[in-house]
Amino acid sequence: MLFGLGRGLRQTFAKLPSLRLGPLPDAPAPAVRDPWTGDGAAGARILAGELVYAGAAMQLRPGEPACWNDEGASQMLRAYAHGFSWLRDLRALGSDAARANARALVADWIATSHSSAVATRPDVAGARITAWLAHWDFFADSAADGFRRKLIAQLHSEARALSARLPAEEIDARALVGLKGLIAAGVALHGQAGYLVRALRFLPQAIGGQMRADGSHVERSPVAHMAALQELIEIRTLLQAAQATPPAALAAAIERMGPALRMFRHGDGGLALFNGSFETPTGLIEQTLTAAGRAGRTPSALPEGGFHRLQSGRSVLIMDVGVPPAPGLDRFAHAGTLSFEFSVGRDRLIVNCGAAPAAGSEWRDALRATAAHSTLVIADTSSSEIKRSGLGRRPDKVEAQRQEANGAHWLEASHDGWERPFGAIHRRRLYMAESGEDLRGEDSIEATSGQPFAIRFHLHPSVIASIQQDHATVLLRTSAGGWRLRADGPALTLEDSVYFGNGEARRTQQVVMTCRGDEPQVVKWAITKAG
């Protein structure tokens, strides 16, 4: 009660006009820089009036009524628009027109009244403050004096409001974004070092709530993991610029998270598609890992995070063997327990369908369902209940055992996600030979009565698939050669699928094995190198 009262008073005082005497300086200290490379193609689309993010798009044109309050856009997309981190894409475009567009959009935002909960959320405000400061030299240095004065005044007002709202109520990675914004304000705004002190009070707790001892992130999403690591790297850089002593937890978290991020990479350098993730540009991943520091050995498993990596020869298999993230941390969680992805060299063969978290509910929820993952699904029912805010019913117990010998790998895992609706346990056994050219699996259901189920292997769009005459084999052709997928028992069929690995839909196919409830509750399959 007292905590809530204190926060309310701080927010009230934050809305009062500044009592600062004398004029504000016309520029911030040049201590904030954006270390991450932008996307020039995305910048060109912004210049044309379209903001694209996480599987969705909205119009972004200064002066138009719906520019900042498009009710047709998802909350996630609107938060991205209000956060201004897309300024790096206009900067990557680098033209005078891009600079003018950035300035016009910032001026339009300042001139518009923003009372929505999205615009004023601590993580959104933190992203906005950091972006404006980090790209000041790009869009504000050459601007008119009046624009710079308004922008500096707005930055002070935003920082006061953000300070009053901390600590943030969100317990996921968004908490770090709000703290980063307040630290950036304390470092770059004249006479506001108190913000830095305040942010450092909350930073150790936020880090402790985000990171596990094995280096994994609590949201169990490769993309969320990378984003949190980037936030921590930026915070470290800001504290170094301010010559402030960082908490010990900061360096320790960065050191652990770098190797853990490597565990999620396929041979093409991109990330695996679990829990709202995208492949992500490899150059940006490399930037992040380089900034994180010491390389460290890529782990074969994240026991607390619930992922295993099998790697032999040129083959990589990454599998989800963990309990879904807890309520409050599951906003991007998928019902993909025991799903896996399989790649050889730079070719992805077996994938999950990806994600469109900023899209409308129809696409967003369909991609979160078990059927959009390379695993088994009982009676077209997801292993976790998909809800708008996260997950409902979910596996309570996920177990995994692993053995290795002479370069070969055995992995056995099970989960109880269908215990309540069907009294069923799903068990998956995998074997990868030393060469990496022989992957064998067995999926089974343990239940008191037979269940109808399907096993799905979604194919990357670059894979060309054809069913052989025996209907028990599918030939998979990639740029580097062919593979055979065989099954013992059910006939194999090829069905349409979709791939959102880069945030936009691409047509692809899936191999499906379907069994009725009165058929054997076990299927053995193999993926082997052809020729």
d(CA 369, CA 361) in angstroms, rounded, equals 12
pLDDT of residue 191 exceeding 80: yes
* Residue-level pLDDT at 65: 76
Residue 330 has pLDDT above 80, yes or no: yes
CA atoms within 13 A on the CB side of 85: 21
Residue 12 predicted with pLDDT over 80: no
- For the chain, the straight-line distance linking the first and the last C-alpha, in angstroms and rounded, comes to 70
- The answer on pLDDT for 21 being more than 70 is no
Helix (H) or strand (E) holding 452: none
Query: What topology does CATH give the domain 301-529?
Result: Beta-galactosidase; Chain A, domain 5 (2.70.98)
pLDDT for position 15: 52
| pTM summary value | 0.94
pLDDT above 90 coverage of the chain, percent: 87
pLDDT for position 295: 74
Run of H or E residues at 499: strand 492-499
pLDDT number for residue 59: 94
* 55 conformational bin, left if phi > 0, alpha if psi -120 to 50, beta if neither: left
Give tens-digit pLDDT for 242-255.
Answer: 999 999 999 999 99
Average pLDDT over residues 3-11: 47
pLDDT in tens, 497-509: 999 999 889 999 9
Average pLDDT of the chain, as a whole number: 93
Using pLDDT thresholds of 50, 70 and 90, give the confidence band for residue 5. very low
Sorted by where each begins, the domain ranges of the chain are 2-210, 301-529
- Lowest-confidence pick of 6-15, 325-334, 430-439, 511-520: 6-15
Instruction: Supply 108's token pair.
Output: 């339009």
Where does the pLDDT of residue 22 fall: very low under 50, low under 70, confident under 90, or very high at 90 and above? low
- Stretch among 25-34, 48-57, 416-425, 460-469 having the lowest mean pLDDT: 25-34
Q: For residues 229-238, give the mean pLDDT.
A: 98
Determine the distance from the C-alpha atom of residue 391 to the mean position of all C-alpha atoms in its chain, rounded to a whole number. 17
Give 354 or 22, the one with higher predicted confidence: 354
DSSP 363-379: HHHHHHSGGGSSSEEET
- Tokens coding 118: 């999205």
